[in-house]
């Protein structure tokens, strides 16, 4: 059955069948306008394409007036470059946007080998608490890939601080043959598993349709075996958390994603405890949704969802317990 009309152009909305119980599902497909240009440094090479790996991988913080704020979390082996276009779009619509660089990321495979999901979550949690302190109220989290898993973990750990979520292409489970391969490789001696050369090259390149984004992306071009094993464990922990996560959640996936199975998003939507869920499928996009050819549409969908579910003003005073009356006030009563 078709649902209500939607302000994003050319989007068809559909309500899920009755067996979805009390949850609200929205399935959206669209053909977006041309994507905005990506920031790269140094300047583009002759021919208009950015230099290889030239994207801005530094953390970002875009302060705006008011208390609406979003924590943007990048993916495994990636950097804030992956979510920077989303952060810029959020800031343009009045949201304070923060994009931290997660532990072990942004430098080398060797550095990433020294961390695991506990360190990644700890760095994301520090960024969350810092953002909450700055805006004096609860925030939203937009997490891409591994960042989506971390967003779900933080929503479970801090339900009072996380008001709503956007989870994009989260690897809840890898494909069975990938899990079996990683488990076999993890049987190697410990001194090998922690070495930088013990990694899987991204033979097919970055999972993104946009050639400019693929060239500019400063992410690592290989995945450490021990890091992938920790990512699998993170997905297992998140799967156990899902029934206890109740905040409104937007779930997004690219139809051309060859990294994370589309079934992961279906499982996430079916198991999460939220009473309001919206699903967005982007038919022309690969895995890197915030960088790909439909990045404007992805950002617009996130903004619209957060405008609906993140209150515009929620001062800290409103959440504080009233102070007890002074002795004089008590006597006058």
- Residue range(s) defining the domain that contains residue 70: 66-307
**Confidence (pLDDT) at 198:** 77
In a domain, 248, yes or no: yes
Q: Which of 165, 315, 328, 311 is nearest to 248 (CA)?
A: 165
- Specify the CATH number for the domain of residue 75: 3.40.50.1820
Q: How many other CB atoms are found less than 10 A from the CB of residue 226? A: 24
In a domain, 38, yes or no: no
In a domain, 325, yes or no: no
179-235 confidence digits (pLDDT tens): 677 776 666 676 665 555 578 888 789 999 999 999 999 999 999 988 899 999 999
- The tens-digit pLDDT sequence of the chain (333 residues) is 333 333 332 333 333 333 333 334 444 544 445 566 666 544 555 566 788 899 999 999 999 998 999 999 999 999 999 999 999 999 999 999 999 999 999 999 999 999 999 999 999 999 999 999 999 989 999 999 999 999 999 999 999 999 999 999 999 987 776 767 777 666 667 666 555 557 888 878 999 999 999 999 999 999 998 889 999 999 999 999 999 999 999 999 999 999 999 999 999 999 999 999 999 999 999 999 999 999 999 999 999 999 999 988 654 444 444 444 444 444 443
The token duo for 170 is 């989260």
In a domain, 318, yes or no: no
Distances (CA, A) of 329 to 105, 321, 323, 324: 56, 17, 12, 10
In a domain, 285, yes or no: yes
In a domain, 131, yes or no: yes
Number of domains in the chain: 1
Give this prediction's pTM: 0.83
In a domain, 53, yes or no: no
Distances (CA, A) of 152 to 105, 147, 249: 20, 9, 10
Q: Which of 18, 140, 36 is nearest to 88 (CA)?
A: 36
DSSP class of 105: -
In a domain, 109, yes or no: yes
Characterize the bridge pairing of strands 162-168 and 139-144: parallel
């Amino acid at each position: 059955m078709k649902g209500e009309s939607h302000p994003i152009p050319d989007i068809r909305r559909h309500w899920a069948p009755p067996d979805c119980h009390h949850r609200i599902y929205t399935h959206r497909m669209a053909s977006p306008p041309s994507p905005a240009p990506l920031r790269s440094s140094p300047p583009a090479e002759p021919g208009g394409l950015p230099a290889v790996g030239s994207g801005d991988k530094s953390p970002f913080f875009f302060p705006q007036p008011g208390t609406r704020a979003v924590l943007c979390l990048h993916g495994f082996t990636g950097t804030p470059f992956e979510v920077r276009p989303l952060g810029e779009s959020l800031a343009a619509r009045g949201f304070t946007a923060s994009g931290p660089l997660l532990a072990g990321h942004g430098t080398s495979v060797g550095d990433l080998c020294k961390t695991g999901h506990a360190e990644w979550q700890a760095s994301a949690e520090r960024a969350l608490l810092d953002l909450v302190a700055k805006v004096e109220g609860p925030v939203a989290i937009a997490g891409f890939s591994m960042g989506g898993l971390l967003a779900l973990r933080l929503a479970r750990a801090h339900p009072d601080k996380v008001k709503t979520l956007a989870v994009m292409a989260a690897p809840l489970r890898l494909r069975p043959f990938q899990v079996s391969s990683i488990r076999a490789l993890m049987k190697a001696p410990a001194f090998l598993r922690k070495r930088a050369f013990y990694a899987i090259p991204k033979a097919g390149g970055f999972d993104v349709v946009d050639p400019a984004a693929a060239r500019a992306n400063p992410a690592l071009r290989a995945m450490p075996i021990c890091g992938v094993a920790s990512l699998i464990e993170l997905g297992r922990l998140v799967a156990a958390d899902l029934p206890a996560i109740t905040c409104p959640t937007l779930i997004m996936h690219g139809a051309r994603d060859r990294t994370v199975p589309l079934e992961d998003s279906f499982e996430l939507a079916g198991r999460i405890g939220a009473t309001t869920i919206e699903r967005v499928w982007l038919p022309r996009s690969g895995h890197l949704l915030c960088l790909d050819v439909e990045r404007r549409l992805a950002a617009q969908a996130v903004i619209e969802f957060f405008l609906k579910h993140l209150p515009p003003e929620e001062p800290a005073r409103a959440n504080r317990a009233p102070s007890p009356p002074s002795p004089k006030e008590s006597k006058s009563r």
